[in-house]
Amino acid sequence: MSRSATILKLAIQGARATVDARFRTRGSVLAATLRSWPEAVAVALDIESSEPAERVRRLLQTAHESCFVETALRQPVRLTTSDRLNGREL
């Protein structure tokens, strides 16, 4: 968000992000059936600025739309994993 604020020439005196993530886990480690998944993620941004509300609204829209994490959670992304033990692939 700070990069976008600089580009838009907005004066931001302070910013705080609060993230509330809810996850579920089912199954057993011992039975090798453990599965986990996200249920919900809520992001709240609290901005301190003397700028007009409409300009800050535009900044926040840009910040949300350009956030890598938000984008990855909103749409499927290709995920690959690579596991090694003592430097050798498992």
Task: Report pLDDT for 68.
Answer: 92
CATH superfamily placement of domain 2-74: K homology (KH) domain (3.30.300.20)
CA distance between the termini of the chain? 40
Residue 18 has pLDDT above 90, yes or no: yes
Is the whole-model pTM more than 0.85? no
**CB-CB contact of 4 with 62 (8 Å):** yes
Task: Report pLDDT for 56.
Answer: 96
Sketch the domain layout of the chain as residue ranges.
2-74
Task: Report pLDDT for 76.
Answer: 86
The Cα 31–Cα 39 span in angstroms is 23
- 19-78 pLDDT per residue, tens: 999 999 999 999 999 999 999 999 999 999 999 999 999 999 999 999 999 999 899 899
The Cα 1–Cα 70 span in angstroms is 13
